[in-house]
Amino acid sequence: MNTTLLQEAKDFIISCYKELNKTQDEINERIDAITKQIESTGSYEHTSFEIDYGAKVAWRNSNRCIGRLFWDQMHTFDKRELKTEEEIFEAILEHMSYATNGGRIRPSITVFAPQTENHGIRIWNHQLIRYAGYTTPDGIIGDPASISFTEKCIELGWKPKYGKFDILPIVIQINDHEPKLFELPEDTALEVDIRHPEYEWFEDLQLKWHGVPFISDMALEIGGIRYTAAPFNGWYMGTEIGARNLADEGRYNMLPQIASLMDLDTKSSISLWKDKALVELNIAVLYSFREDGVSIVDHHTAAQQFKKFEEKESEIGRPVTGNWAWLIPPMSPATTHIFHKPYKNDIVKPNYFYQPRAY
Ligand code: ARG
């Protein structure tokens, strides 16, 4: 008898059913059924609403996420019945199209079959949409964060294109089978060309980013059950793109070029050329998404929304946990309330967890 699993299941059922105003009888009945299922099979199956609620609460418990005000507005696709890599890929496309919604992004999650003793599904990609990164004799092309995954894809037969923004294929593995590669059909990934409201030269940099972040390598854990393939998405906060993906030295490293196009003195750091370039890059990201009608939030608004989340939770009497170092935005952090208070980084389940790389 797996007593840890049963205990985790009980903890989840009790808190979930209570939040959903179910009766003590319903709780007892469900726990009896789960106990029997664990006794006879070694595990148990969630109902669809348990998955849906578990996925939402896992978001609510995500200490690094500033966007948690919207935790109960996530759409869940329960796809546990899918067996083949092809079916899983089709479900991924369905998720991407529903979530992208022509730019009016809908937070969504697709939950595939959980890890069991003899069955496991993994999506190898970090995100469903990411740009390839290549090391070449003339230096790195594309996103340096994707280099090792890109190499894997090439090993598996993907044709490298050596562009700055090549969308990587989806790699799906079931059990210890050879992973299967799927190219995203043209137009699946909504992308935004980055331009600036005043600097016309900005578009010559030919920067773009994908509209939707779909995290695909984390495990969703609910009541002791691990969903190792459960891709989910929200919408972007501008700084994720403008202050990290396009700005980090270890990513697209665009600040020196932008600063020099702005005619800033890049010889001396006291000109604050990095800061000035950073602001303009972030203005460009927010402006371009907004103009294309693609959902995005600036970090000041996101912090306000997080404050509202904190207030709502404390009204209900639920302590808010958080990881300060992740919650503060990477630009002007001290202009948000988050910077000025501590957060308890306690891990509460259900939650999303990192898992060992699949490759
Ligand atoms: N920071 C990651 C990226 O830049 C995305 C993480 C999830 N972000 C979100 N807004 N849900 O791609």
Model pLDDT for residues 121-137, shown as the tens digit of each residue: 999 999 999 999 999 99
Among the options 71, 158, 209, 235, which is catalytic?
235
DSSP letter at 317 equals T
Q: What Å distances lie between residue 232 and 15, 137, 177, 290, CA to CA?
A: 23, 36, 24, 22
Among the options 8, 59, 60, 65, which is catalytic?
65
The type of residue at 292 is D
Which residue's CA is the closest to the ligand 1 atom numbered 1?
240
Is residue 240 in contact with ligand 1, taking CB distance under 6 Å? yes
Q: Please give the pLDDT value at position 1.
A: 78
Q: Please give the pLDDT value at position 136.
A: 97
The question of whether 80 is a catalytic residue gets the answer no
Which of 297, 107, 102, 131 shows the shortest CA–CA distance to 190?
A: 102
CA diameter of the chain: 72
* E strand or H helix that includes residue 174: strand 170-174
How many CB atoms are located within 10 Å of the residue 129 CB?
23
Global model pTM greater than 0.75 = yes
Sites in the chain below the pLDDT cut of 70:
none
Residues paired with 315 in a beta bridge: none
